[in-house]
Amino acid sequence: MVGAPDRLQRILDFLEFADRFKFVERRGYLTGGERRENDAEHCWHMALVAMVLHGELEDPASVDLGKALRLILVHDLVEIEAGDTYAYDDAAIEGQEEREQRAADRIFGLLPDDLGAEMRALWEEFEARETPEARFAKACDNFQGFMQNVISGGRAWRENGVGREDTRRRTDFPRTVDPAFDALLTRLYARTDREGSFG
């Protein structure tokens, strides 16, 4: 009789499963447009955004950067099962929450119970957008997604008919989180207008 996997094995199984994150495609392209960005790349880039912008916040001490990084690193894991939901696809957004809850049960359930609960709590904190770290992390998420489209010349916007006003769905929120996002986004909009990259 084969017993249930033990603690070490559950950790290894989770880390192996996580490799699939690198296959979850987003809509946005990389610079040069050769291929789309994947979730692992997005999370790494978003974490770098957080590291670089943390000191630019009005009150850096109000946001625990280490905590924000932990939220960022797990915030999209559910997409391994639930898939990436495009920010501008209203039909897909409708079933998103239920899909992602089911995915969370499965994915965080791979880990030993205590560790799985800890990781799931991080994901839930991110989703709720209430704590300063979750608000900052979500602002980095939106900012990175917008910036990725700017630096890839807006190809995904044009392919999906996303116009200048539509992009406010991703940029209004970060502007409310801190003036640093507001200032950076103003620059990126000016560049995008100049380059004519909106859809």
Is residue 15 helix, strand or coil?
helix
Is-contact 84 27, C-beta < 8 A? Answer: yes
Q: Which of 25, 40, 81, 158 touches a copy of itself (CB under 8 A)?
A: 40
Tokens coding 181: 């996002």
Contact flag: residue 101 with a copy of itself (CB under 8 A): no
Largest Cα–Cα separation, the chain = 67
Q: Which residues contact 191 (CB under 8 A, 6 or more apart)?
A: 150
| 92/115 with CB nearer a copy of itself | 115
| 92/188 with CB nearer a copy of itself | 188
Element (H, E) at 27: strand 25-29
| 50/82 with CB nearer a copy of itself | 50
> What burial class does residue 31 get, using C-beta atoms within 10 Å of its C-beta: 0-12 exposed, 13-18 middle, 19+ buried?
exposed
Q: Which of 41, 81, 127, 166 touches a copy of itself (CB under 8 A)?
A: 41
Choose one: 30-38, 78-86, 89-97, 168-176; the region binding a copy of itself (CB under 8 A).
30-38
Interface contacts to a copy of itself, rule CB under 8 A: 8-9, 11-12, 14-16, 18-23, 30-31, 37-38, 40-41, 43-45, 47-49, 51-53, 55-56, 64-67, 69-70, 73-74, 111, 114-115, 118-119, 147-148, 151, 183-184, 187-188
